């Protein structure tokens, strides 16, 4: 696919260009470089940028325990006993017949205190330490843990991502997507950070990003998906691209509560998950969804992905399996990395952008 969205950059010098392309290029001639697409970043809240969950009453200790139970892998023996297949937590199964702990036993807010989970106690302790709030507690950004210790409520890697994308001059917006009830408070806290009130990120004020403090809602049915926010009401009934275009036109930070009951009615499968569209013919934007409940199994994943089609093909869209878009437009959150690595979300974006270019080429061939 030819991306005509390009800009001209002065040549950096004849010798440099010879090394890069081994060709004689006049130093005054412009070089065509692809222009970076606008990023539309859909981010989950719980166990993605928050290590807590107000809906279930989980503090950071229980939330991290619960997460670890989803990335610990074993198998059930012929005698019905649990056998470990890996000592390392992993978002993807380490082998074909591996089953994560939570699939068999359920999520466990006390995972490391169980006989099976105690081998991950070191991982848990290390990351709880990294999660601790440094300095005097702040009512907007600090949460008190079950142990009375102060912890970061919103992960610093999230704010670092905002700051870095701004400094890079990127066009982007962040759309917070959650089934939970934390959204209004998260929007207020992000708004405060963008006013320079986060003690670790006072320079965020320079980004001049706008936060829409009105939480929106997304509701699904067999006939349509309806998005509402304030006076806005967008439906896919007349045109499936409507919500895609709405998301693509957004700027700053906003958020929507997705339709949990619809996901439950569809037995927590992809078909009832958070609706998400990509358009391979759109040269200007790339949509990326980051969520800890994105999984390669369509029977146990949280995003309902649709690829928008050329109108000439008749159908407006087709369903896309998670495996088709994994690490291209869909990212399964590695919460341990999001806690320990400030560049984690930036790395996710970089990998997705690189893979998206290859995906578009294969899409064109098809």
pLDDT digits (tens, 9 = 90+) for 223-276: 999 999 999 999 999 999 999 999 999 999 999 999 999 999 999 999 999 999
Give dist(CA 150, CA 136) in Å, integer.
Answer: 9
Distance CA 289, CA 247 (A): 12
As a whole number of angstroms, the distance between CA 43 and CA 34 comes to 26
pLDDT band at 205 (very low <50, low <70, confident <90, very high): very high
Can you tell me the mean pLDDT for 145-173?
97
pLDDT at 63 exceeding the cut of 90:
yes
- Across residues 301-330, what is the average pLDDT? 91
- What percentage of the chain has pLDDT greater than the value 70? 89
Give the Cβ contact number of residue 209 at 10 Å: 20
User: Given this model, what pLDDT does residue 282 score?
Assistant: 94
Structure tokens at 66: 């619960």
pLDDT at 313: 62
DSSP letter, residue 256: E
Give the position of tokens 């309806």. 226
CA atoms within 13 A on the CB side of 232: 17
- Lowest-pLDDT range, 5-14, 34-43, 74-83, 128-137? 5-14
Report whether pLDDT(28) > 50.
Answer: no
Residue 20 has pLDDT above 60, yes or no: no
Give me the residues paired with residue 304 across strands.
Answer: 275
Reported in sequence order, the residue ranges of the chain that DSSP labels E, i.e. its strands, are 6-9, 31-34, 38-43, 73-76, 82-84, 99-100, 142-144, 150-152, 172-178, 216-220, 225-229, 232-235, 252-257, 274-278, 285-291, 303-308, 317-319, 330-332
Cα 332 from Cα 351, distance rounded (Å): 13
Among candidate residues 36, 48, 43, the one with its CA nearest the CA of residue 247: 43
Sequence-ordered alpha helix ranges (H) in 205-276? 241-249, 260-265
Partners of 82 in the β-ladder: 76
Among the residue ranges 5-14, 57-66, 68-77, the one predicted with the least confidence is: 5-14
Is-contact 76 88, C-beta < 8 A?
A: no
Neighbours of 192 (CB within 10 A): 17
Helices (H) and strands (E) in the chain, counts: 11, 18
Question: Residue 363 has what pLDDT?
Answer: 67
CB hemisphere CA count around 176 (13 angstroms): 33
Q: Which of 10-24, 73-87, 173-187 has the highest mean pLDDT?
A: 173-187
In this structure, what are the phi and psi dihedrals at residue 269, rounded to the nearest 5 degrees? -100, 170
Average pLDDT over residues 26-46: 72
Contacts of 343 (CB under 8 A, 6+ apart): 157, 160, 164
Question: CA 137, CA 144: separation in Å to the nearest integer?
Answer: 9
Predicted local confidence at residue 34, as pLDDT? 55
Residues in contact with 194: Cβ distance below 8 Å, sequence separation at least 6, in sequence order:
162, 204, 205, 207, 209, 210, 211, 253
User: What pLDDT score does 364 carry?
Assistant: 60
pLDDT in tens, 173-186: 999 999 999 999 99
The answer on pLDDT for 24 being more than 50 is no
CB atoms within 10 A of CB 116: 16
Q: Give the other-Cβ count within 10 Å of 198's Cβ.
A: 22
Q: What is the mean pLDDT of the chain?
A: 90
Q: Encode burial over 10-23: b for 16+ CB neighbours within 10 A, e otherwise.
A: eeeeeeebeeeeee
Asked whether the predicted pLDDT for residue 117 surpasses 60, the reply is yes
The pTM assigned to this predicted structure is 0.89
Comparison of pLDDT for 17 and 164, the residue scoring more = 164
The owner of tokens 């809240």 is 45
pLDDT at 216: 98
pLDDT at 22: 42
pLDDT given for residue 161 in this prediction: 98
Whole-angstrom distance, CA of residue 291 vs CA of residue 46: 9
């Amino acid at each position: 696919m030819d991306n005509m969205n390009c800009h001209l950059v002065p040549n950096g010098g004849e010798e440099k260009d010879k090394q890069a392309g081994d060709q004689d290029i006049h130093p005054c001639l412009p070089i065509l470089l692809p222009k970076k697409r606008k990023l539309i970043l859909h981010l989950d809240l719980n166990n993605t940028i928050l290590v807590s969950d107000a809906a279930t009453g989980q503090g950071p200790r229980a939330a991290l325990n619960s997460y670890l139970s989803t990335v610990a892998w074993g198998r059930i023996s012929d005698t019905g006993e649990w056998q470990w297949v890996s000592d390392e937590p992993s978002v993807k199964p380490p082998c074909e017949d591996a089953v994560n702990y939570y699939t068999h036993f359920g999520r466990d807010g006390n995972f490391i205190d169980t006989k099976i989970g105690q081998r991950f106690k070191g991982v848990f302790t290390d990351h709880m330490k990294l999660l601790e709030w440094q300095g005097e507690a702040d009512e907007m950004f600090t949460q008190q843990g079950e142990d009375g210790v102060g912890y970061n409520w919103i992960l610093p890697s999230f704010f670092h991502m905002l700051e870095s994308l701004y400094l890079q001059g990127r066009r982007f917006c962040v759309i917070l997507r959650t089934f939970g009830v934390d959204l209004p408070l998260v929007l207020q806290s992000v708004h405060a950070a963008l006013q320079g009130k986060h003690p670790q990120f006072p320079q965020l004020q320079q980004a001049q990003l706008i936060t829409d403090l009105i939480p929106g809602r997304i509701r699904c049915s067999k006939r349509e998906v309806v998005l509402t926010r304030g006076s806005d009401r967008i439906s896919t009934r007349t045109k499936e691209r409507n919500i895609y275009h709405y998301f693509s036109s957004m700027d700053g930070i906003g958020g929507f509560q997705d339709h949990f009951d619809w996901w439950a009615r569809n037995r927590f499968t992809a078909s009832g998950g958070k609706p998400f569209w990509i358009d391979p013919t759109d040269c200007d934007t790339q949509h990326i969804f980051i969520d800890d409940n994105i999984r390669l199994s369509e029977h146990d994943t949280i995003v309902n992905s649709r690829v928008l089609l050329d109108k000439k093909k008749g159908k407006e869209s087709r369903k896309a399996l998670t495996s088709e878009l994994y690490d291209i437009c869909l990212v399964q959150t590695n919460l341990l990395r999001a806690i320990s690595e400030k560049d984690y979300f930036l790395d996710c974006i970089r990998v997705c952008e690189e893979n998206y270019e290859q995906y578009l080429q294969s899409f064109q061939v098809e």
